Amino acid sequence: MQPLDYPHLESKGFIGAIECTDTGVTIQSSGEEVELLGQVLGYVTQIGNMIGESFGLDNLEEAHLIGSNTTAVCIPLEGNHLGVLCSNRAQIDSLISEILN
């Protein structure tokens, strides 16, 4: 995966991103606001998978945590987890697409 440095996306609402292992160990990150997101990223995926399993769903594909000013998107990525932090005004689908491509 490419480095998670996307200054050109800041005008679109990008705040930062973090890639972590299943245990929450940070592999790489960008932005100052993402360390807390890294600590909970693995747990969000595990809980999402448990909830999904109880409804007969496959593993968690994507989780959106929406706060009053920011949104965190958690996505499984190549055996790890990617967390993206952005403003609530961001075009989330567009941001994620640019980051993943």
More confident site: 85 or 31: 85
Give the Cα separation of 54 and 77 in Å (integer).
23
pLDDT digits (tens, 9 = 90+) for 30-62: 877 776 677 667 677 777 778 877 888 776 678
57: CB partners within 8 A, 6+ apart: none
18-100, which class in CATH? alpha beta
pTM for the model: 0.78
pLDDT higher than threshold 60 for residue 1 = no
More confident site: 89 or 61: 89
Enumerate the domain spans of the chain.
Answer: 18-100
Give the Cα separation of 67 and 20 in Å (integer).
21
